Amino acid sequence: MTLYFDEDVRPDDQTAATLEAAAVAALEGEGIDPESASISVSFVDRKEIRRLNKEYRGVDKETDVLSFPAFEGGAIPDESQLAEDEELALGDVVICEDVCRAQAEEFGHSEEREIVYLFVHSVMHLLGYDHETEDEKQDMRAREEAVMELLGISR
């Protein structure tokens, strides 16, 4: 599993390792070999997340995380379809550090726990999960909680 971070805003080594472990757990849970997969991860401020939210979702407000899947509806190609040494780039995750920090305080847990949860939530979107209906929401939440539990990170 390769995570590509912006060089300007990169998490500390411990958080980066936890995010990588979360991505590996999420992919393995879906039967995807994480060895050939990659995800781009960016941390931005409130102004930038609002701009991105407006540009790509038509919503003119801040949000905590945005996901930009490389494959529609989770139609991820089988690794056997990749050329030798080809990377399975799943998409981009953009986390707003300021909103993350505020939510961690509001929910009474660490900022790292909030970052990891938002990342896992976003990875689920990259894998084709959504929460438009109650059934979809329950399915997605169950997958998120399973990954968090594997990491030993509870609410």
CATH code (residue 68): 3.40.390.30
pTM here?
0.92
In a domain, 26, yes or no: yes
In a domain, 155, yes or no: no
pLDDT greater than 70 at residue 82: no
Q: How many domains does the chain have?
A: 1
Q: Are 65 and 94 in contact (CB under 8 A)?
A: yes
In a domain, 112, yes or no: yes
Q: Which residue has the higher pLDDT, 81 or 119?
A: 119
| Cα 44 to Cα 59: distance, rounded to the nearest angstrom | 17
Whole-number pLDDT of residue 108 = 92
In a domain, 44, yes or no: yes
* Owning domain of residue 89: 2-150
CA dihedral for 131, 1, 119, 63, sign (positive or negative): negative
